[in-house]
Structure 1
Amino acid sequence: MAGLQVRSVLVTGANRGIGLGLVQQFLGMTNPPKWVFASCRDPKGQQVQELQNLASKHPNLVIIPLEVTDPASIKAAAARVGEQLGGSGLNLLINNAGIAKVNLLDNETLEDMTRTYTTNTAGPLLLGQAFLPLLKKAAQGSPGSALSCSKAAIVNMSSSGGSITSLEGWDLMQVVSYRCSKAALNMLTKCQSLGYREHGILCIALHPGWVQTDMGNSVGFTPPLTVDESVRGMLKVLSSLSEKDTGTFLDWEGKAISW
């Protein structure tokens, strides 16, 4: 991970699972970011204790209240981060917050589909818009013109479950609303890569693998990957990304996933 050198990073859904693992790994780097922003719905809630403990030990960790389905909350978070950064920009936005409802196709509802899509797809869209000025500022302040995660990047946490070509695990879990939201997130990533490239911002969809988290365990089987294994792999991938990778769909080992 020596190649990943960012001054600032924001991770959404950072109070548990992969989001918390990412925060822990960033803080543990030999040359950690000057600012690690960890967002969650309720910074004072019961599920944020571990994040609060980290913040008490690491002055560069700032916990940000953020509800990714609420435009006003997103706008307030962007203002808070911008205030903390002063005149510098945000190098890395990791849209990790997401939800899944374990339903069969026949049991999917409008309510579940709308809620899942709003969180997993519309949320990253709105976050990209709100933090674009800070990402552009980071890109402008970085030497060279080549795209990289060390310069400015949006990382959308996707899933192989959103691959239309290969509907992995259909017999195990149909989760149609989740699959649809991640397929749409992949298209959003492609659109962001086209729209933000001129601003020097790399955009990528990243599959963390089937990980031992609350979401990963929800189907009744123990996933093969630990949070630590997934996060270490993803950070290694992020450190290796370049101009040719923007707009692609990769897994935690850097392998391309078919759309």
Structure 2
Amino acid sequence: MASGGPIGSVLVTGANRGIGLELVKRFLAKANPPKVVFATCRDPEGPRAQELRALASKHPNLAILQLETTDPKSIQAAAKKAEARLGGAGLNLLINNAGIMPACTLESATSEHMLDVYNTNLVGPMLVTKEFLPLLRKAAHASVHKGMGCGKATIINMSTILGSIEKAPEHYALFPVVSYRCSKAALNMLTKLQSMGFKEEGILCVAIHPGWVKTDLGTEKADLTVEESVKGIMDVLCNLSEKQHGILVTWEGKTLPW
């Protein structure tokens, strides 16, 4: 069964726009919000983080951290600041949301392009999780709940149905984006490996497909608004348990094949 109780702390990467920003808003708006919501982005002082800064001025439990997911030193610095802010407590929920989806076909792909996308979409979440793992372990060990869940310690990797190898034929013509799809398939494998590696410590690991969302990545042609997608994701997060450990689920809570 799911690990009940409120989420004490959450960290969201890529939180200055789109799904990440909406997740932050939803956590802050909860009747029983987390004691600390960490919102990370590349440039907290820049124009793209203006809305985050406005939220922080109204919500003392919102902490904005500079974090570039492709820069190990930046991740380490963010982890140290998060640890200081938590004051001895652990991190309950890590959402690896930051990602990129540049245009890329089989004909246009280059080694440099592929490696850049992998660096952001796969290596980034891997490094962020690795650096924040001590805080996740601390939360898991301190929890009184026996079952897995977001109230204990959870890693969420924001993935996509486009990373599903089994579903690939259904979406190939409409979404070629080769580098993105390959990187997310690799992220799915990372999620599966994390689920096996961290199971004994009680850390839940899940990949989530947010749907085709009207964001900078999804464009205006997409099916869902950011609000619709994140409302679904929040419902999914509240109901996660061992049943979803090491699998890919949709924003509606349905299981997708790898």
Structure 2: gaps spanning 5 or more residues: none
Runs of 4+ deviating beyond 2 Å: none
How far off its partner does 1:4 sit?
A: 6.6
How far off its partner does 1:144 sit?
A: 2.6
Q: Normalising by the residue count of structure 2, what TM-score does the alignment of the two structures yield?
A: 0.96
1:244 paired residue number: 243
Specify the code of the residue in structure 1 equivalent to 2:140.
A
Describe the shift of the 1:4–1:52 C-alpha distance in structure 2 as closer, same or farther (beyond 3 A).
farther
Describe the shift of the 1:35–1:159 C-alpha distance in structure 2 as closer, same or farther (beyond 3 A).
same
How far off its partner does 1:128 sit?
A: 1.1
2:224 paired residue number: 225
Matches of 1:53 and 1:182, distance apart in 2: 32
Specify the code of the residue in structure 1 equivalent to 2:158.
M
Matches of 2:126 and 2:146, distance apart in 1: 25
Q: Are positions 1:8 and 2:41 aligned together? A: no
Moved more, 120-129 or 168-177: 168-177
Specify the code of the residue in structure 2 equivalent to 1:41.
R
1:136 paired residue number: 137
CA contact (8 A) 1:102 1:173 kept: no
Q: In structure 1, the residue corresponding to 2:107 is in which secondary structure?
A: helix
Q: Please show how residues 102-181 of structure 1 align to structure 2 within 5 Å.
A: 102-167=103-168, 168-181=170-183
Matches of 1:194 and 1:95, distance apart in 2: 18
Matches of 2:120 and 2:238, distance apart in 1: 27
Identity %: 59
Specify the code of the residue in structure 1 equivalent to 2:102.
K
In the comparison of the two structures, how many residue pairs are matched? 254
CA contact (8 A) 1:4 1:238 kept: no
Structure 1: gaps spanning 5 or more residues: none
Q: Please show how residues 183-222 of structure 1 align to structure 2 within 5 Å.
A: 183-217=185-219, 222=221
Matches of 1:169 and 1:236, distance apart in 2: 26
CA contact (8 A) 1:66 1:73 kept: yes
How far off its partner does 1:169 sit?
A: 2.3
2:90 paired residue number: 89
How far off its partner does 1:23 sit?
A: 0.2
Matches of 1:214 and 1:144, distance apart in 2: 38
Matches of 1:26 and 1:114, distance apart in 2: 33
Matches of 2:211 and 2:46, distance apart in 1: 28
Moved more, 99-108 or 25-34: 99-108
| CA RMSD across the alignment | 1.0
CA contact (8 A) 1:101 1:112 kept: no
Q: In structure 2, the residue corresponding to 1:107 is in which secondary structure?
A: coil
CA contact (8 A) 1:154 1:203 kept: yes
Matches of 1:36 and 1:83, distance apart in 2: 14
CA contact (8 A) 1:4 1:239 kept: no
Matches of 1:87 and 1:248, distance apart in 2: 31
How far off its partner does 1:193 sit?
A: 0.5
Matches of 1:25 and 1:75, distance apart in 2: 27
Specify the code of the residue in structure 1 equivalent to 2:202.
G
Matches of 1:240 and 1:4, distance apart in 2: 11
Specify the code of the residue in structure 2 equivalent to 1:173.
F
Matches of 1:124 and 1:34, distance apart in 2: 24
Specify the code of the residue in structure 2 equivalent to 1:198.
E
Q: Normalising by the residue count of structure 1, what TM-score does the alignment of the two structures yield?
A: 0.96
How far off its partner does 1:85 sit?
A: 0.2
